[in-house]
Structure 1
Amino acid sequence: MAPDPPDDPYVLHARLLAADEAAFREVYEAYVPLVLGVATRVIRDRTAAEDVAQEVLSHLWERPLSYDPARGPLRAWLLVLAHHRAVDWVRREEKRRGLAAPHEAPRGDETADAATDGLVALRVRAVAAGLPDTLREPLLLAYYGGRTYRQVAAELGIPEGTAKTRLRTALRVMAAALAAEGITP
């Protein structure tokens, strides 16, 4: 795996926000092999994968605010974005060729899928960790502790309706945060 660029992630992000070409070059050199590798494994066409990799890195250059170093490492964000863009490319191609059945997801390389699943899980945990305590506690009890909303309410000493509301709110906040990073169900 390529190392992170030498700067602190916040310093690097500030440099990208300032349109520092040297910072972008550091990111490009550090991550283009990984981004291209994920895109190639999903698309299985080197030329198309190169286009997707260029699209991903151009996205960072043109919209550096879309990456937030507080939410996780740049590497993870770029790889998740590469995977999503590559899957979108495959879907567009299948639709263009008339091969895809409605709602059929393309089958990617199992290694790429496993890597992406791990990165998505990392992002989900990071987003959950960033929730306020009032939302995070019920969410962790329900989804990681296997409790019902009634059990969550009893354990936290809150009304059942409040437990339901907090769970729904936590899920909505997480879905919005993940969607902003291109991670959708």
Structure 2
Amino acid sequence: MDENQRSLILLQEISRGSRHSFNQFYEKYIGFVYQIAFHIIKDHAETEDLCHDLFLEVYQNSSQYDPSKGSVKAWLAVKAKSRSLDRLRKKKPLLHNRLQELLKEEESGADIAFLSQIEHHILKDALLSIPIQQREAIIRSYFRNETHKEISTKMNKPLGTIKSLIRYGLTNMRKQKTLLNWVDSSGGEKKNEL
């Protein structure tokens, strides 16, 4: 029996009220979830609160897991990522100061590589969801390190327009909370898809 099958059995037992199975599930995944959340939040107390809330949600709604969407570990990773980004958004009005850092971080380890892959998908999806000119201005500013004046020249737009495109683009990106079809725009689970 592989790791995912054992985790699935634990989730089934949790849904029947087994505290023992929940404790095993918690011990198995707390380090993984904590690592993802802390990687984003960078605050131990906030990360602990988030982990508590996430595992409480798993305990109360373990039947939300859908094996057709991926492994239990991937499900938890997406939940941790989603909740962490929501907390980060509440603390800081824009995520833009983390965009470049998230894309440039190169860390080893399978868990971090998996997390990095999710981050790239989130950023790509958010960028693809905004208007083309906003996307181009943000990419030029944050990923190519071009100045607003350089962007203005290359895009043949007034400087004020470039600043507006970037500001509105970041605002639109901030509104993008859909992570790999697991959560809806309110940050809650999609009941009809899980």
Q: TM-score, normalised to structure 2's length? A: 0.51
Paired residues in the alignment total 121
- Determine helix, strand or coil for the equivalent of 2:17: coil
Q: Deviation at 1:52? A: 1.1
Write the mapping of 1:1-185 to structure 2, written as runs, cut at 5 A.
4=3, 8-95=6-93, 100=94, 104=96, 106-107=98-99, 109=102, 110=105, 111=107, 114-118=113-117, 178-179=180-181, 181-182=182-183
Task: Tell me the residue number matched to 1:165.
Answer: none
SS for the counterpart of 1:42 is helix
Moved more, 57-66 or 23-32: 57-66
CA 1:10–1:36: 2 relative to 1, 3 Å: closer
Segments of 5+ residues of structure 2 without an aligned counterpart are 121-177, 186-194
How far does residue 116 in structure 1 lie from its aligned partner after superposition? 2.6
Aligned residue in 2 for 1:156: none
User: C-alpha displacement at 1:18, in angstroms?
Assistant: 0.6
Structure 2 CA distance for partners of 1:177 and 1:14, relative to 1, 3 Å: farther
What CA RMSD, in Å, does the superposition of the two structures yield over aligned residues?
Answer: 3.3
Name the % identity: 22
Partners of 2:78 and 2:69 lie apart in 1 by 13
Unaligned segments of structure 1, at least 5 residues: 122-175
* Residues 28-76 of structure 1: CA deviation (Å, up to 9, x unaligned): 0000011011111101111111111112111111111211234322111
Quote the Cα distance in structure 2 between the aligned partners of 1:86 and 1:177.
12
Q: Give TM-score, length-normalised by structure 1.
A: 0.54
Contact 1:67–1:74 (Cα < 8 Å) also in 2? yes
